[in-house]
C-alpha cells in the first residue's frame, strides 16, 4: 500500500473508477489563492478557494461573520426525531436523529463540539444515492446530557445502540474526527453493527496535544469548573474559535449558534468537558494503539473494511495520525486531500465524496 507524504505538495490528475468518472485538476495561482476544480458525473463543479486576502485556516474577525453561510444547504429541511434509549451506562436518554435521502442507509457520526449539522453539505449530493441517518452523540447537540463519565468505550457502544434502535445494524458508517475514532472502537468491539467504515480525519493516537490536554485536565485544580467558566463567558465566540476550516469564509453565525447552543447550558458545558477528559483520554488512546499493533502483528485484519481520509494540513489533528493508522491497519485504504481540513466534508465536499462513494459501493 502506498502512503503519500501528508506534507507533499504536487499537481495531480486522477480518475476514480467504479462507475463514476472524476477528474481532479489542481491549478496553482498566487501564494494566497489556490483552486481545485473537481468534475464528477452528475455532480456540480466545485471551486473551493481561499479568498485572495486570506490565508488557509486564517480566522476572520468574529464581528464580520455573515448571518447565513455563503453556501446554501438543506439541513433546515430535515425533520428531527428522538430515539429513546435505555443504556446500561448513560441510563434512559433521548437521542436527536434526522434522516434524509433515499437508497441504502449511511450513518454519519460527528466529532467533538459539533452536531449532526456538520454533515449539512452531504445532504444534497447524496440525496438520490443514500438515506443519510444523522444524530447527535450523547452529550452533544440536542441529545440528552446525563451526568456520567463519557469514556470512549461507553460512547462507542452508545453509537451501536443508536444504530440498533434505528434498525440500522449492518449499515455503512461515516465518522468524522472524534466520531471516526469512536467508530473504530465500535468496529473492534461489535463488528456486526456496521458493514464498512469511512474514518474522516480522526484522532485516536496519544499525540503531544492529546497528552498535554490530559495532563492539564488532571493537574489544574477544578479543571471542569475552569473550562465551564471559560466557555460560558461567550459560547458563540468559543464555538467560532474552535472550529477550523481551510477556507474560514465558510463560517457563519448560523453555524456558531448551532454549535454554541449546548455550550450555553451548564449540562452541555459539563458534557463537553467530559468529552475532552474522558472520550479523548490519552491512556485509552494508548490502549487503542496497542490493540491495533497486536492485530497487525498477529495478521488479524481490521474487523470491517476501512477507508481513512486525511487532509494534508490541519491545526487540530496532525496528519501524522493518518500515516500511523495506515501502517497499523495495512488492509485500510487511505486517501489524502490537499487544501482541506479535518472537516473535509464541509470545505472539500466534492473531493471527499469522490473518494468515499466508490468505497461505500465496494469498489
Burial class (CB within 10 angstroms; exposed 0-12, middle 13-18, buried 19+) of 20: middle
The pLDDT of residue 7: 36
Whole-structure pTM value: 0.86
Is residue 172 within 8 Å of 196, Cβ to Cβ? Answer: yes
One digit per residue, the tens of pLDDT, for the chain of length 363 reads: 333 333 333 333 333 333 333 333 333 333 333 332 333 333 333 444 566 678 999 999 999 999 999 999 999 999 999 999 999 999 999 999 999 999 999 999 999 999 999 999 999 999 999 999 999 999 999 999 999 999 999 999 999 999 999 999 999 999 999 999 999 999 999 999 999 999 999 999 999 889 888 888 787 778 899 999 999 999 999 999 999 999 999 999 999 999 999 999 999 999 999 999 999 999 999 999 999 999 999 999 999 999 999 999 999 999 999 999 999 999 999 999 999 999 999 999 999 999 999 999 997
Locate the domains of the chain by residue range: 62-345
The pLDDT of residue 299: 95
The pLDDT of residue 50: 65
Q: Where are the alpha helices (DSSP H) in 13-172?
A: 123-126, 152-165
**Domain 62-345: CATH architecture, name and number where available:** 3-Layer(aba) Sandwich (3.40)
The pLDDT of residue 295: 97
Interatomic CA distance for residues 49 and 46, integer angstroms: 9
Residue carrying C-alpha cell 471542569 = 224
222 φψ region: left (φ > 0), alpha (ψ -120 to 50), beta (else): left
Amino acid at each position: 500500500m502506498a502512503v503519500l507524504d501528508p506534507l507533499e505538495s504536487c499537481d495531480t490528475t486522477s480518475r476514480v473508477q467504479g462507475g463514476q468518472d472524476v477528474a481532479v485538476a489542481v491549478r496553482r495561482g498566487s501564494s494566497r489563492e489556490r483552486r481545485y476544480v473537481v468534475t464528477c458525473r452528475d455532480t456540480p463543479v466545485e471551486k473551493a478557494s481561499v479568498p485572495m486576502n486570506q490565508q488557509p485556516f486564517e480566522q476572520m474577525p468574529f464581528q464580520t461573520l455573515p448571518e447565513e453561510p455563503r453556501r446554501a444547504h438543506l439541513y433546515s429541511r430535515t425533520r428531527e426525531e428522538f430515539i429513546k434509549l435505555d443504556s446500561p451506562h448513560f441510563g434512559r436518554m433521548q437521542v436527536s436523529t434526522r434522516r434524509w435521502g433515499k437508497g441504502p442507509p449511511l450513518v454519519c457520526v460527528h466529532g467533538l463540539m459539533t452536531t449532526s449539522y456538520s454533515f449539512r453539505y452531504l445532504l444534497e449530493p447524496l440525496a438520490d444515492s443514500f438515506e443519510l441517518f444523522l444524530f447527535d452523540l450523547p452529550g452533544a447537540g440536542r441529545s440528552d446530557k446525563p451526568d456520567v463519565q463519557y469514556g470512549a468505550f461507553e460512547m462507542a457502544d452508545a453509537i451501536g445502540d443508536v444504530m440498533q434502535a434505528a434498525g440500522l445494524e449492518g449499515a455503512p458508517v461515516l465518522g468524522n474526527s472524534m466520531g471516526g475514532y469512536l467508530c473504530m472502537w465500535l468496529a473492534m468491539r461489535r463488528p456486526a453493527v456496521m458493514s464498512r467504515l469511512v474514518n474522516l480525519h480522526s484522532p485516536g493516537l496519544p499525540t503531544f496535544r492529546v497528552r498535554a490536554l490530559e495532563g492539564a485536565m488532571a493537574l489544574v485544580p477544578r479543571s471542569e469548573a475552569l473550562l465551564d467558566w471559560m466557555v460560558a463567558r461567550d459560547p458563540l465566540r468559543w464555538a467560532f474559535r474552535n472550529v477550523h476550516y481551510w477556507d474560514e469564509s465558510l463560517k457563519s453565525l448560523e453555524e456558531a449558534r448551532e454549535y454554541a447552543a449546548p455550550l450555553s447550558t451548564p449540562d452541555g458545558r459539563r458534557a463537553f468537558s467530559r468529552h475532552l477528559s474522558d472520550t479523548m483520554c490519552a491512556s485509552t488512546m494508548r490502549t487503542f494503539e496497542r490493540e491495533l499493533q497486536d492485530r497487525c502483528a498477529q495478521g488479524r485484519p481490521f474487523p470491517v473494511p476501512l477507508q481513512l481520509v486525511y487532509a494534508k494540513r490541519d491545526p487540530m489533528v496532525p496528519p501524522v495520525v493518518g500515516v500511523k493508522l495506515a501502517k497499523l491497519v495495512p488492509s485500510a485504504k487511505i486517501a489524502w486531500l490537499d487544501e482541506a481540513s479535518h472537516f473535509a466534508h464541509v470545505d472539500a465536499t466534492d473531493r471527499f465524496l469522490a473518494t468515499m462513494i466508490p468505497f461505500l459501493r465496494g469498489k
